[in-house]
């Protein structure tokens, strides 16, 4: 039993004649008649009672029509789904985010994918450090990662999304809390609350380098992995911090944000494994790039 035979049969049954069915299918009438006859031979049962003016379904034809409509609808649905998959409209995509991107890009991406790509299921991981994101990409645990540039030796392909300046986070009772712009050298006597060291955080290395360029190295450092926890530590009066400016979206009680004079900057990039992305991942990557 071939699909074209079923389609011809359904067209004759629903249109009421071979001529009208041939017009619908854009086929010659003899071709439609041959396909229906072939189907009847395969099934061993007549499907139509033919008269000079019309055709009527036999009991076998009535039963086949019910089944054929379901079969053809499923075939058409499967074909549509395959086309949607190829176009990036269906699939599952896992995306990881560094802390700063967790606060603005993650929720925006989720909303836009639901609105424009409802057939895609997103798996989102926020508050990650860039080295962990790189490792997850290489291990195929993530499809995409919004992260700090891991450098050319990482084995990953990256594209720059934006450049983020660093700002200072201070407790509200800090001596510089009401100062608009701060020189990082003014913080030489403070405890610093930073992301982990040891190449686990690009922000940590950038902050330490900026401090050294200003003539000092922080003596006391408290290391915290999650950015939200880091800001809460500052609110608790444990110390000060220097973070990318999107962290200012965490408008927590107990902290003040201040601009740095001549602030260091870090690039935020979209990372992926080398090679062509799957269509669904390509579609999500496009939305990420257009969101920034």
Q: Give ranges for CATH 1.10.10.10 in the chain.
A: 3-86
- pLDDT confidence of residue 111: 94
Alpha-carbon distance of 107 to 109, in angstroms, equals 5
Mind listing the pLDDT tens digit for each residue in 69-84?
A: 988 888 888 777 677 6
Residue 52 has pLDDT above 80, yes or no: no
Residues 6+ apart with CB under 8 A from 194: 201, 203, 204, 207, 208, 221, 222, 223, 224, 230, 241, 242
240 DSSP 8-state letter: B
Q: Which of 239, 265, 249, 246 is CA-nearest to residue 170?
A: 239
- pLDDT confidence of residue 90: 79
pLDDT band at 201 (very low <50, low <70, confident <90, very high): confident
CA distances from 131 to 135, 139, 177, 201 (A): 6, 12, 33, 7
Q: What CATH number does domain 164-264 carry, 3.40.50.620, 3.40.50.970, 3.40.190.10, 3.40.50.720? A: 3.40.190.10
Domain with residues 3-86, CATH architecture = Orthogonal Bundle (1.10)
Mind listing the pLDDT tens digit for each residue in 128-141?
A: 988 899 999 999 99
- pLDDT confidence of residue 72: 86
Residues 6+ apart with CB under 8 A from 74: none
Q: Check if the beta carbon of residue 216 is closer than 8 Å to that of residue 190.
A: no
Residues 6+ apart with CB under 8 A from 161: 146, 267, 268, 269, 270, 288, 289, 292
Residue 192 has pLDDT above 70, yes or no: yes
Mind listing the pLDDT tens digit for each residue in 30-50?
A: 998 899 999 989 999 999 988
Q: Count of CB atoms within 10 A of residue 144's CB?
A: 23
Element spanning 64, H or E? helix 59-86
Q: Check if the beta carbon of residue 247 is closer than 8 Å to that of residue 100.
A: yes
Mind listing the pLDDT tens digit for each residue in 230-266?
A: 999 999 999 999 999 999 988 899 999 999 999 999 9
Compute the C-alpha angle 102/135/151, nearest 5°: 85
Q: What CATH number does domain 91-161+268-291 carry, 1.20.1440.230, 3.50.50.60, 3.40.190.10, 3.30.70.20? A: 3.40.190.10
Cα torsion angle, 114, 120, 123, 125, sign: negative
- pLDDT confidence of residue 82: 72
Mean pLDDT of 169-190: 95
Alpha-carbon distance of 86 to 156, in angstroms, equals 24
- pLDDT confidence of residue 163: 94
Q: Give ranges for CATH 3.40.190.10 in the chain.
A: 91-161+268-291, 164-264
Q: Residue 116 has which token pair? A: 């424009």
């Amino acid at each position: 039993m071939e699909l074209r035979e079923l389609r011809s049969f359904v067209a004759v049954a629903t249109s009421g004649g071979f001529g009208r069915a041939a017009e619908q299918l854009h086929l010659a009438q003899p071709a439609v008649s041959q396909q229906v006859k072939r189907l009847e031979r395969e099934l061993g049962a007549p499907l139509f009672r033919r008269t000079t003016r019309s055709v009527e379904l036999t009991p076998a034809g009535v039963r086949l029509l019910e089944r054929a409509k379901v079969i053809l609808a499923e075939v058409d649905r499967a074909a549509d789904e395959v086309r949607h998959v190829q176009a990036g409209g269906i699939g599952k995509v896992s995306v990881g985010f560094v802390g700063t991107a967790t606060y603005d890009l993650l929720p925006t991406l989720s909303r836009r994918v639901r609105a424009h790509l409802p057939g895609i299921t997103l798996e989102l991981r926020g508050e990650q450090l860039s080295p962990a994101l790189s490792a997850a990409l290489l291990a195929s645990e993530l499809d995409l990662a919004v992260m700090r540039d891991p450098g050319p030796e990482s084995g990953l392909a990256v594209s720059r999304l934006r450049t983020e300046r660093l700002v200072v986070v201070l407790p509200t009772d800090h001596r510089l809390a009401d100062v608009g712009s701060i020189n990082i050298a003014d913080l030489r006597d403070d405890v610093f609350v930073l992301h982990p060291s040891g190449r686990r955080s690009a922000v940590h290395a950038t902050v330490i380098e900026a401090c050294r360029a200003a003539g000092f190295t922080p003596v006391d450092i408290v290391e915290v992995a999650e950015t939200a926890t880091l800001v809460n530590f500052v609110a608790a009066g444990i110390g000060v911090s220097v973070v990318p400016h999107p962290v200012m979206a965490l408008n927590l009680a107990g902290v003040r944000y201040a601009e740095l004079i001549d602030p260091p900057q870090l690039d935020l990039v979209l990372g992926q494994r080398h090679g062509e992305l799957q269509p669904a991942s390509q579609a999500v990557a496009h939305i990420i790039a257009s969101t920034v």
